Amino acid sequence: MRNGRAFTHPAMAQSESTLAPAKINLTLRIFGRRGDGFHELESLVAFAPFGDRLTLWPDGPLDLEVSGATAAGAGPLADNLVLRAARALAARIEGLRLGRFALVKRLPSGAGLGGGSSDAAAALRLIAKVNRLALEDPRIHDAARATGADIPVCLDPRPRIMRGIGEILSAPLVLPRLGILIVHPALALPTGPVFKALGLAPGEQLLARSAARSVSPPASEPDALLAWLAAERNDLEQAAISIAPQVAAALEAIADLPGCRLARMSGSGSACFGLFDSSSAAAAAGRRLTAAHPSWWVRAGLLGS
């Protein structure tokens, strides 16, 4: 037990459980840095069919147990976003039912997959369920924004365009089905140094917004979506590569796999992804990549509706 106490589940309590899926930034445009230091962005966000698993046993004292293959990278228990999100919501709703959480970590940390943010959003979903709160409750969204910039988009994990510093969200989008392969090249890459490597001063603009540019991806055909994605980019990719050349090696390895249609870094890295025509093609590519790089974290699945 990571907090030094035995973790016991209430014998008669009914638990609630949910997936905290990996968040994937299929695109990421950085427009500039605000005066307060935050970066203005625009990103097409989607979610993988795999991730961490969070369970809540309600009505006990607020507590958290962390286990799983990647638990060692989860950081200090007191700083875990699950507890911070729960406390933020409790501060906004008097008498809120909380309880004991068990988090099974499967996503690597420092990967640009939003693992901690997705965990926190999962905690808010579970608390909302046991308290019979609508997920649209503004107090839930306020607690999400107060806890972390990526948490609002993870509350209802469906594809969306995310803007601002993460607080402006489009309606859910429908994406065509594609196979996806996600690769973490055994390197944790914290977000802060990557944004620092981008080199923007407060108030500096990197990219002018174009009112004519379409920011809504085509929803009908995989080829149309892939063509749209190819015209986009991740503006943090070169900044990440400048401090972690392993990212470039991962991108090259993914792009060289049979059937890969697009290779790109997710978020601030270091995880990268490849898109394929089917989940079976992605899985076959994953087996080949794992054989060549057994220390890398590799997962394949289906992206889209």
- Which is catalytic among the residues 23, 52, 105, 235? 23
Q: Can 150 be counted among the known catalytic residues?
A: yes
Q: Are residue 188 and residue 293 in the same domain, yes or no?
A: yes
* Structure-block tokens of residue 64: 């958290």
Domain boundary among 169, 189, 220: 169
Domain boundary among 135, 169, 203: 169
CA distances from 274 to 178, 184, 299 (A): 10, 12, 11
Report yes or no on 8 lying in a domain: no
Angle at 242 between CA 259 and CA 24, to 5 degrees: 45
Q: Are residue 160 and residue 191 in the same domain, yes or no?
A: no
The pLDDT of residue 212: 42
Q: Are residue 222 and residue 162 in the same domain, yes or no?
A: no
Q: Are residue 131 and residue 190 in the same domain, yes or no?
A: no
Report yes or no on 4 lying in a domain: no
Q: Are residue 156 and residue 189 in the same domain, yes or no?
A: no
Q: Are residue 297 and residue 240 in the same domain, yes or no?
A: yes
* Structure-block tokens of residue 227: 């063509």
Report yes or no on 11 lying in a domain: no
Q: Are residue 221 and residue 159 in the same domain, yes or no?
A: no
Report yes or no on 111 lying in a domain: yes
- The range of the structural domain enclosing residue 141 comes to 16-169
Q: What is the pLDDT of residues 261-277, one digit of tens each?
A: 999 999 999 999 999 99
CA distances from 303 to 71, 74, 143, 180, 207 (A): 26, 26, 29, 6, 29
* Structure-block tokens of residue 303: 């992206």
Report yes or no on 138 lying in a domain: yes
Q: Spell out, as residue ranges, where the chain has pLDDT lower than 70.
A: 1-13, 207-215
Q: Are residue 138 and residue 248 in the same domain, yes or no?
A: no
Neighbours of 192 (CB within 10 A): 9
CB 180 within 8 A of CB 282: yes
The pLDDT of residue 228: 95
Report yes or no on 130 lying in a domain: yes
Report yes or no on 6 lying in a domain: no
- Which is catalytic among the residues 52, 63, 119, 150? 150
The pLDDT of residue 241: 97
Whole-angstrom Cα distance, residue 21 to residue 209? Answer: 30
Q: Are residue 245 and residue 294 in the same domain, yes or no?
A: yes
Whole-angstrom Cα distance, residue 187 to residue 245? Answer: 10
The pLDDT of residue 6: 43
Give the CATH number for residue 220: 3.30.70.890
Q: Are residue 45 and residue 116 in the same domain, yes or no?
A: yes
Q: What is the DSSP string of 95-121?
A: T---EEEEEE--SPSSSSS-HHHHHHH
Domain boundary among 108, 138, 169: 169
Strand partners, 275: 180, 262
CA-closest candidate to residue 41, choices 173, 157, 149, 118? 149
Q: Are residue 227 and residue 276 in the same domain, yes or no?
A: yes
Q: Are residue 69 and residue 103 in the same domain, yes or no?
A: yes
Give the CATH number for residue 138: 3.30.230.10
Structural domain count of the chain: 2
Residue whose entry in the numeric block shows the structure tokens 């808010």: 124
Q: pTM for the complete prediction?
A: 0.92
Report yes or no on 7 lying in a domain: no
The pLDDT of residue 4: 38
